[in-house]
Amino acid sequence: MALTQRDRDILDFERSWWTATSPKDVQIRERFELSATRYYQILNEMLDTEEAMAYDPLVVRRLHRQRDRRRRARLEPRVIEEDGTR
């Protein structure tokens, strides 16, 4: 499946969204007319495609690492210290 123009725009946006002054969710709504939830659904599906990797391997690898870190954090049990703190 070839990347659409919107797919390429999303990957381009992920490369530099933090340079803007407005919050990311506001930028997503203004630029793509999508909710943040729908945006991340599209992005996550796209990250697993060869076409996305071919288009921008650095961004795709960075986003894979971030996604993997978040997954591990959710799945790993929290350690509770003897004094009751985490």
Amino acid sitting at position 61: R
Longest dimension (CA), the chain: 54
Residue entry with tokens 């490369």: 15
Q: Where are the domains of the chain?
A: 5-72
Tokens of 69: 């870190």
pLDDT at 23: 92
Tokens of 55: 């288009």
In this structure, of 12-21, 59-68, 70-79, the range with the lowest mean pLDDT score is 70-79
Q: Minimal CA–CA distance to 13: which of 31, 36, 34, 37? A: 31
pLDDT at 61: 96
3-61 tens-digit pLDDT: 999 999 999 999 998 788 889 999 999 999 999 999 999 999 999 999 999 999 999 99
pTM of the model: 0.78
